[in-house]
Amino acid sequence: MTYDPENWLESAINEIKNYATAGFNAAVLDDQFASAGDEVYNVIMEFPGPAMDRSEIPLTRTVVHFEVDDMTDREVGFGMNQFADNYDSVAHTVNPQYARQHLINFDVGIWASARSGGLTSRIRAKQILENLFGDPSGQVALRTATDGGDGVVEIISYSGGRFIIDHITDSPVYRMIDGALVVRVFSRTKLSDTPGPAIEEIVQDPNLEIIGPPTGDLIILG
């Protein structure tokens, strides 16, 4: 589990799925959740509409969904936003890379049926989400899990949502809606296949002469 800044969106989504799945699996095995027995949580990175449309109700596994519903992108720093020249002293070339900052807003929800654990499963899922994304220890854990030396997935905020009871194909579905997770990642462009020539020195035109007359005006002769 490491974040790839050159494949930032897919990488961030996959890393959040991996982190959440590992966290739910670990929580189910923890003593305080031992009564859950064979209860399994299914983490998906989309709104589970198609599954519901296929009438996969009642659910055999409680679903926890993360769906990207907003993104904000901006350049990092000032000027050309070039953060790495990648100068090759042998080939005398440069292969610049550029950086951007991305805020990704996920809608977070829980879907449980009586078969998957009902009210109890929904409550536990909400608590696990808070532990994974709301608590400071969880925020540190996500940074650590995604840190491969080239960047991390950083939690900016998490809000836990509210409970409702829905009905799909006449079966009650115990849901959490309006949950929101905002993360920040930094991306960089990939290296070009054709580096450009490096400007290693600036040579003044030998025929250029700058004269400063007593009047203070500059006269450039070339």
Condensed to tens digits (0 to 9), the pLDDT of residues 21-57 reads 999 998 887 645 445 445 589 999 999 876 665 556 7
Per-residue pLDDT, 123: 95
Choose the weakest-confidence range: 3-7, 142-146, 215-219.
Answer: 215-219
Return d(Cα 107, Cα 48) in angstroms, integer.
12
- Categorize the per-residue pLDDT at 104 as very low, low, confident or very high, splitting at 50, 70 and 90: very high
Q: Which residues lie closer than 8 Å to 96 by C-beta, 6 or more apart?
A: 82, 84, 85, 86
Percent pLDDT > 90 in the chain is: 52
Per-residue pLDDT, 203: 61
Return d(Cα 26, Cα 167) in angstroms, integer.
30
Choose the weakest-confidence range: 48-52, 105-109, 180-184.
Answer: 48-52
| Among 79, 87, 82, 132, residue whose Cα is nearest residue 106 | 132
Please provide the average confidence, as pLDDT, over all residues in the chain: 82
pTM of the full structure: 0.79
Higher pLDDT among residues 168 and 108, named by residue: 108
Condensed to tens digits (0 to 9), the pLDDT of residues 158-168 reads 998 999 999 88
Two tokens at 165? 């009871």
Distances (CA, A) of 190 to 6, 86, 171, 194: 6, 12, 49, 12
pLDDT at residue 149 greater than cutoff 70: yes
Condensed to tens digits (0 to 9), the pLDDT of residues 119-136 reads 999 999 999 999 999 999
pLDDT at residue 222 greater than cutoff 60: no
HSE-up of residue 217 (Cα within 13 Å, Cβ side): 4
Q: Which residues lie closer than 8 Å to 114 by C-beta, 6 or more apart?
A: 58, 171, 172
Per-residue pLDDT, 37: 46
